[in-house]
Amino acid sequence: MSEKIETRLFVSADLAADGTVGLETGQTHYLKHVLRLGPGAHVALFNGRDGEWTARIDGIGKGWTSLSLIEQRRPQREEPDIWLVFAPIKRARIDFTAQKATELGASVLWPVLTKHTQVERVNTDRLLANATEAAEQTARLSVPEIRQPMRFDALLDAWPQDRPLIVCDETGAGTPVVDVLSKPPFKGGTPCGLLIGPEGGFADHELDRLRQSSFVTPVSLGPRLLRSDTAALAALACWQAVAGDWTMERPDGLDI
């Protein structure tokens, strides 16, 4: 079993046997001044491609860290292909959504601007920082792709026709979400998307556009009217429980 390592960092560099990795200023500050780590300490690195590796700090200075790769702790494995498309909400709650959606296995986080969206500007760098931190803390081997915000009609125009889009319908007209996910094409974790509307709900013309789209399946999340961030996490949890990877066992040797 691999040794217990408390610190995991996401890096962009390739990870391979006998390789070396240099860290950026922010990660160096975190290791040196927050965790008080120095040469000889071990951390785990992952990049979303090459699995997770044990690395040893060889040197650490002002704004730089050099590490040597020792061994692969876990190989890269296939992860859920579920896109979360959501109308942006206020800052603290959008941070929370990015963090928890990452923990729940979303592969893409994609803000959509609808008529009733209250937030017009989205800090995608902040979304990525929140998603990265969540991936580092939860033993995930990848970080979700953060896409640039897109207007509602443009997003539907660009949507891949072969990727089903599950729309959480606040009008209550959709089929119960578990019933939908338990049947083809969703059963078994087929790649798809989840669309969560704004706090004020979809506009009538947006609902009409969704009804006219052949790739859209409306679902209900129950009798209560959920806030947008709650609906996003509830839908992801349902997808994972019924069609996702929650039936898989934790990998051998994972000790964090």
pLDDT tens digits, one per residue of 114-140: 998 888 789 999 999 999 999 999 999
Position 110 scores a pLDDT of 97
Q: What is the pLDDT of residue 15?
A: 98
CA angle 195, 170, 89 (to 5 degrees): 55
Domains belonging to the chain, first-starting first, are 8-74 (2.40.240.20), 82-242 (3.40.1280.10)
User: What tens digit of pLDDT does each residue of 31-78 get?
Assistant: 999 999 999 999 999 999 999 999 999 999 999 999 999 999 999 998
Identify whether the C-beta of residue 112 lies closer than 8 Å to the C-beta of residue 155.
yes
Q: pLDDT value at position 136?
A: 96
**Alpha carbon distances (Å) from 111 to 11, 79, 84, 234:** 24, 21, 8, 17
Whole-Å CA distances, 40 to 54, 58, 255:
12, 6, 20
pLDDT at 1: 42
Please tell me the predicted confidence (pLDDT) of residue 2.
Answer: 53
Beta strand 192-196 with 82-86 is parallel
**Residue ranges of the chain with pLDDT lower than 70?**
1-3, 250-256
3-state secondary structure 196-250: ECCCCCCCHHHHHHHHHCCCEEEEECCCCCCCHHHHHHHHHHHHHHHCCCCCCCC
What tokens appear for 204 in the block? 């009538």
Taken in order 150, 155, 159, 163, the sign of the CA dihedral is positive
